[in-house]
Structure 1
Amino acid sequence: MKENTTRPLSAEERLEWIRLIRSDKVGPITFYKLLERYGTAAAALEALPSLAQRGGAPRFRLHPKDATAREYDALEKAGAKIVAFVEDAYPPLLRHLEDAPPLLFVKGHPHLLSKRAVAVVGARNASVAGRRLAHQFAADLGKGGLLVVSGLARGIDAAAHEGALPTGTVAVVAGGVDVVYPKENAALYDALCAQGAVISEIAIATQPQARHFPRRNRLISGLSRATLVVEASPKSGSLITAKMALEQGRDVFAVPGAPQDPRAQGANQLIRDGAILARSAEDIFEAIHDQISPALKEANHIDFTVENTKIADPVECDEARGELIESLSTTPVSVDELIRNCQFSPASVATALLELEMAGRLERHPGNRVSMLYDT
């Protein structure tokens, strides 16, 4: 659960948020669990070593303060802005994700992130016709008042950004916000920084790696009311973006193509599986016309500035931890189910799970599920 009110972060808080999200075993979901439990990043950072120790780890590595300061300074030197989950500039639809990034790093114009958005994605080895279609779709979507989101890859992504540059487009990248990838899109990257925006949740100066792209894809779909796939092979990363969009409760559109073209097989399969066929931008406008008001469930309010007072005593937490270790396996199970099947309070279970996670013995999964890690 994450708060749905906004407030600006101070410079000191920004440093603390960076340090917390960069600390060992702290991902976005755990970040919010810690702030829900302790109220502030500073309090969570102070508690992490003892949490890990109670969970069975002899030591815990907090992200170094000097490394945090260097990252903060590098962001400023690169001209990147920090947008926190609790701030007005944070993209409204992205807040609905369970694993929404606590911090986004933005080069360009952060105000664009508040616009209603549609993602346009597709094949890197796109055909000339596919690139032309992506460019036209993006231009028409932009003229209709929508922000076009894509991933700055070659092919369909680049064509979509180029088509929407005059009206507003955002690139989500799989490395640091200052890293141009692929190099052939350097001019487009510069244009996006000048006229649109480039965003990332990954530390500045980080080179893109294979494991970063699924994380990047969830942001592309998470920013957007709908995702349009123009061309995609059966193993295209664009299909991962489409799958994530569906899991996030968003619409998926696809442009049909010739059955003989491998680059059309992914989009054709999406249509066969229920994606909305898109012939032009009008099909997208028609489908989302009635969705001006967000149809997605609002997140429950949690005040991240106040420590949660519903906390069990250490003895009860110790007992809960022992029972959880016995009950859990490598198969993910719902936290709600764990609470229903034990005699301990939700606060005790939540604290014990945090302790096991910080000790590297437990893994969190989407849908508020957890599993044990027996190989650590």
Structure 2
Amino acid sequence: MQIEERRNERAEIMNQEIRDAYTLWLCSLKGLGSASLYRLWKESGEDPDFAGVWYRMAGEGGGAGMTNRLREILRRGRKESSPQQLMEQLLNQNIHFVWPGNPCYPVRLKNIPDPPFALYFRGRLPEEKQPSIGIVGTRMASPYGREQARRFASELSAGGMQIISGMAKGIDGIAGRGALDESDASFAVLGSGVDICYPKENQDLYEALCERGGVISEYRPGTEPEARLFPPRNRIISALSDALLVIEARERSGTLITVDCALEQGKDVWAVPGRVCDAKSAGCNELLRQGAGVAVSPEAMLEEMGYRTARTGKLSQSVRKTKSPVDRKAQKGTVSYTELEKCILCALDSSTAQSVDEITDEVSRKMHRSCSFPELLRAMMKLAAVGAVKEIRVGKYISC
């Protein structure tokens, strides 16, 4: 039975890789933007094989209802490249690709007003269950702003937060470096392809993020940085963040675009106060006047957001760095687990009960394939039998 399950798992992984390759091909076609790609996917009923269908239709001269413009885009694209070639080129550059039909696509992006259809990254993506804070600010930072960016990023990172920034000159770049001083949970969203470092002065940061954290973009590899590409990427910075922190921003700063995105997405906005006579802090001070959270210290932020207590300085359960259930069971040496069972244990914790649907989604993401309900239920029953998980309410589980 296990051999058959493993065969099915490998087959599903291969199917996902094939679907990703065809979707990558579709996303590479000039003339098809994110909105068009979403429309084609939705019209297919969110068929995971929709891109492969379009590729085959292009080879057959198109289908009923296809516009002449779309027919020409597909015909030209099929002539210029193949899905397998494009995916091989991407992997040779250590670039990964996800889209909404891939279980690794970030959940945080799915419900924003204008989610990116394609997402390219080097390194890795932010963890779904680990809290994150976006840090943005002026490119022309003062000594005060530079020190606060380093301090907040470093201490928030030490407190278990993932740090999201734009890797721009100034506050963004300093925050990215400050986070790496304490952990590997530092990520940058670029206004270019992920294979292009901009600005060049952040080359060392770019390389460190690729190796330890991640660089992310909705733009195709090879896309050069242009002024028009930076405002749209700001919505991804705020979407990947559970809250946004602004450190030094002028009254009409481009940083405030990210603030608008965060507010539209329902995220909390914080600002570091500055001198009332300092033009570089005018935007932050105005945000505070309008009701933004007052970021007087990283510890106060963590406490108010519910991740740390000021008295003990200890992390809350949601971000405390403890051994996973898998590690604890392995130490006892009493039970061996399948890959699926390990993923289930990693998805659960002892304090927050989760439904089967929530567990299924998390396990599918970790295993890079879809996990069926019967398959999950069999694994859950085995784990419950050995005392690794417990059903505390109907359909709600915790780890033991």
State the TM-score, normalized to the length of structure 1. 0.69
Worse-matched range after superposition: 280-289 or 22-31: 22-31
Unaligned runs of 5+ in 1: 1-6, 302-376
| Alignment correspondent of 1:121 | 136
Question: Displacement, 1:158?
Answer: 0.9
Checking the alignment, whether the CA contact within 8 Å between 1:29 and 1:98 is kept in structure 2 is no
| Alignment correspondent of 1:103 | 118
Give 1:259's match in structure 2, choosing from 258, 273, 276: 276
Q: Which amino acid aligns with 1:28?
A: S
Checking the alignment, whether the CA contact within 8 Å between 2:34 and 2:116 is kept in structure 1 is yes
3-state SS of the aligned residue for 2:262? helix
Q: Which amino acid aligns with 1:37?
A: E
Q: Which amino acid aligns with 1:27?
A: G
Question: Displacement, 1:57?
Answer: 5.9
| Alignment correspondent of 1:197 | 214
3-state SS of the aligned residue for 1:268? helix
Checking the alignment, whether the CA contact within 8 Å between 2:20 and 2:98 is kept in structure 1 is no
Cα offsets for 1:300-333 (capped at 9, x unmatched)? x9xxxxxxxxxxxxxxxxxxxxxxxxxxxxxxxx
Cα offsets for 1:67-101 (capped at 9, x unmatched)? 46564333212111223323343322122223222
1:42 to 2:52 alignment: yes
- Counterpart-to-counterpart distance in 1, 2:208 and 2:38: 34
Question: Displacement, 1:58?
Answer: 9.3
- Counterpart-to-counterpart distance in 2, 1:211 and 1:134: 26
- Counterpart-to-counterpart distance in 1, 2:164 and 2:82: 29
- Counterpart-to-counterpart distance in 1, 2:32 and 2:69: 15
Question: Displacement, 1:50?
Answer: 5.2
More relative contact order, 1 or 2 (CA 8 Å, 6+ apart)? 1
Checking the alignment, whether the CA contact within 8 Å between 1:176 and 1:200 is kept in structure 2 is yes
- Counterpart-to-counterpart distance in 1, 2:154 and 2:199: 23
Matches for 1:6-155 after TM superposition, within 5 Å = 10-23=16-29, 26-38=32-44, 39=47, 40-44=50-54, 46=57, 51=65, 53=67, 60-62=72-74, 64-65=77-78, 66-67=80-81, 69=83, 71-110=86-125, 112=127, 115-155=130-170
- Counterpart-to-counterpart distance in 2, 1:51 and 1:129: 60
Question: Displacement, 1:30?
Answer: 3.7
Worse-matched range after superposition: 90-99 or 141-150: 90-99
| Alignment correspondent of 1:187 | 204
Identity within the alignment, %: 37
- Counterpart-to-counterpart distance in 1, 2:174 and 2:70: 52
Give 2:237's match in structure 1, choosing from 220, 226, 238: 220
The number of residues matched between the two structures is 287
1:288 to 2:305 alignment: yes
3-state SS of the aligned residue for 1:82? strand
Backbone CA RMSD of aligned residues: 2.8
- Counterpart-to-counterpart distance in 2, 1:49 and 1:268: 57
Question: Displacement, 1:112?
Answer: 4.2
Checking the alignment, whether the CA contact within 8 Å between 1:179 and 1:207 is kept in structure 2 is yes
Checking the alignment, whether the CA contact within 8 Å between 1:71 and 1:203 is kept in structure 2 is no
- Counterpart-to-counterpart distance in 2, 1:151 and 1:115: 19
Checking the alignment, whether the CA contact within 8 Å between 2:239 and 2:265 is kept in structure 1 is yes
Matches for 1:323-342 after TM superposition, within 5 Å = none
3-state SS of the aligned residue for 1:258? coil
Q: Which amino acid aligns with 1:20?
A: L
State the TM-score, normalized to the length of structure 2. 0.65
Cα offsets for 1:319-369 (capped at 9, x unmatched)? xxxxxxxxxxxxxxxxxxxxxxxxxxxxxxxxxxxxxxxxxxxxxxxxxxx
Q: 1:26 to 1:115 in 2, by over 3 A?
A: farther
Worse-matched range after superposition: 279-288 or 205-214: 279-288
3-state SS of the aligned residue for 2:306? helix
Q: 1:67 to 1:229 in 2, by over 3 A?
A: farther
- Counterpart-to-counterpart distance in 1, 2:202 and 2:69: 45
Unaligned runs of 5+ in 2: 1-11, 308-315, 319-351, 353-357, 362-400
| Alignment correspondent of 1:350 | none
Q: Which amino acid aligns with 2:179?
A: A
| Alignment correspondent of 2:190 | 173
Give 1:158's match in structure 2, choosing from 173, 184, 208: 173
